[in-house]
Chains A and B, each alone.
Chain A
Amino acid sequence: MLSSFNTHSAFIKCKTTLVIQVSGLCLFAWLCQWAAHSVHSIIPGSVIGLGVLLLLLSCHWIPEKVVNQGSAWLIGDLLLFFIPPVVAITKYKLILESYGAELIVCMLLASASVLLGTAFIVDKLFKFERKQRLNSITAQRLQLRTTLLNI
């Protein structure tokens, strides 16, 4: 009985923390958007907020646990937040019906080229960096051996 009460209260405590953290992040986002709007910033308030929060975390001015749960929920359920805009495409039904096939083919080709192009560049760079590191290690060993032989 007591243990079920404990799990129950732990559950409530966990949910309350989540709600408080999410509300805090919302308030912070609203403040950043307001600030960005009032100085006519080109960079949107949410990205400025991201930078500010990262700075606050890096300087240990706010501990990670203060935003941990809230940020995990916001990022984890990101898809939920853009379902309403997706539903709004019913407004553009006519355009999508007439250009749908063309759109799908173009997007497939474009996505494949971005995926392959990026993977190819990173793969080459990664191999180059690894080779450089190996070369420097071999050079160090050679130098060490010559020094040891000279002694």
Chain B
Amino acid sequence: MNGSLLGALCLLLTLAGYYFSKRLYLRRQRVWFAPIIMAPTIILLTVVIFQIPLADYFQFTHWLPALLAPATIAFAVPIYRERALIKRYPLTISVGVLAGLCLGVGSSWLILHFTHMPSELSKSLIVRSVSTPFAIEATSAFGGIPELTAMLVLVTGIMGMLICDPLFKAANIKSSLARGISLGASAHGAGAAKANQIGREEGVIASLTMIFTGIAMVITAPLFALLF
């Protein structure tokens, strides 16, 4: 098949796969239909099964990741809108962000030192708990690979979404702040979506924590990188 026709079809496949799973999830709220699980699976499977060359896949889809930078800037709007909430809990939010950041980097440090994974894989793991636009910016400081990082960020989000309910129950975590902040700091976007299902305040606080943890990760990455 003609290369650019295949490229255009790939762009169409990506858009259709994403918006289809989004629609489906709105109608049937099953976790397996969530766009974060279903959309990448459909698209990845199609590319693998039909053995589409990556160069053709990227011919027209390469501008989609370019939108991550304006998306990062767009996070200024929710921060501005929820400034009242931030003023109400400044200490709790900042300690939560700091704790999430240190635990995330610390746990990756343990993995890096006690397992025998190839370094490009384990180094891409370090930034896994922050939202993709920030993670992709920060991963180069640690020597990680953006593509691997994007995948690990995605898997972390899905895991956080699935394990949070039993963990909160077992540890008897009831306050909305603790639930929202920990979901935002450990599972970024997917965690914020999950927190939104628990309650409105949890959702807002999780989104804010996600943004702050991302910013903090990008700013502190060169410092943390000295540890590794």
Contacts and interface: CB of A to CB of B under 8 A. Distances in A.
B57 A43 contact: no
Contacts of A113: 103, 107
B96 A122 contact: yes
Contacts of A117: 99, 103
Interface residues of B, number: 96
A94 to B, nearest CB: 10
Nearest to B221: A42
Nearest to B120: A95
3 residue pairs, one from A and one from B, having the closest CB atoms: A71-B74, A119-B182, A85-B150
16 contacts: A70-B74, A79-B39, A80-B18, A84-B61, A85-B147, A88-B54, A88-B58, A95-B121, A107-B125, A107-B152, A110-B104, A110-B111, A110-B128, A111-B129, A119-B168, A119-B178
Interface of B: 14-15, 17-18, 35-36, 39-40, 43-44, 47-48, 54, 57-58, 61-62, 64-65, 67-81, 83, 91-92, 95-96, 99-100, 103-104, 107-108, 110-111, 115, 117-118, 120-121, 125, 128-129, 131-134, 136-137, 145-148, 150-156, 159-160, 163-164, 167-168, 171, 173-175, 177-179, 181-183, 185-187, 189, 215, 218-219, 222
Given A90-B44, A118-B99, 10 more contacts: A80-B18, A80-B39, A85-B151, A87-B44, A106-B117, A107-B159, A114-B103, A115-B163, A115-B182, A115-B186
